[in-house]
Amino acid sequence: MGKRVTPLRAGRGSRQGQAHGSADLRILAQERALRAYPFADISENLEVSISPRAKRMALRLNHRDRIVHLVVPKRASLRSAYDFAQDHQNWIQEKISKLPKIVPFQDGKTLPVFGRDRRIIVLYNKALRKTDIQLKKNEIIVITNKKDPAGRIRRFLMEQARKKISLLAQEKADRLDKKIAHLSVRDTVSRWGSCSEDGRLSFSWRLIFAPPEAMDYVVAHEVAHLVYMDHSRNFWAVCEELCDDYAQGKGWMHTNGHDLMRFGIES
> Can you tell me the distance from the alpha carbon of 45 to that of 93, in angstroms, rounded to the nearest whole number?
9
* pLDDT for the residue numbered 14: 42
**225: number of CA atoms within 13 Å, CB side?**
21
Residue 169: predicted pLDDT: 98
Look up residue 131 and give its amino acid: T
Cα dihedral value 50, 51, 57, 58, nearest 10:
-100
On whether the CB atoms of residues 18 and 11 are closer than 8 A, the answer is no
What is the per-residue pLDDT for 28? 66
Residue ranges for the chain with pLDDT beneath 50? 1-19
Tens-place pLDDT, residues 225-243: 999 999 999 999 999 999 9
Predicted model pTM: 0.74
| pLDDT at residue 40, rounded to an integer | 85
Per-residue pLDDT of 196-218, as tens digits, reads 999 999 999 999 999 999 999 99
pLDDT in tens, 178-189: 999 999 999 987
Question: Whats the size of the chain, residue-wise?
Answer: 267
pLDDT score, position 6:
27
By DSSP bridging, strand 58-62 and strand 193-195 are unpaired
Domain boundaries, the chain: 15-97, 110-262
How far apart are the C-alpha atoms of 228 and 241, rounded to whole Å? Answer: 14
Reference 209, options 142, 265, 247; nearest CA is 265
Which one, of 128, 126, 125, 108, lies nearest residue 117 by Cα?
A: 108
CATH topology of domain 110-262: Zincin-like (3.30.2010)
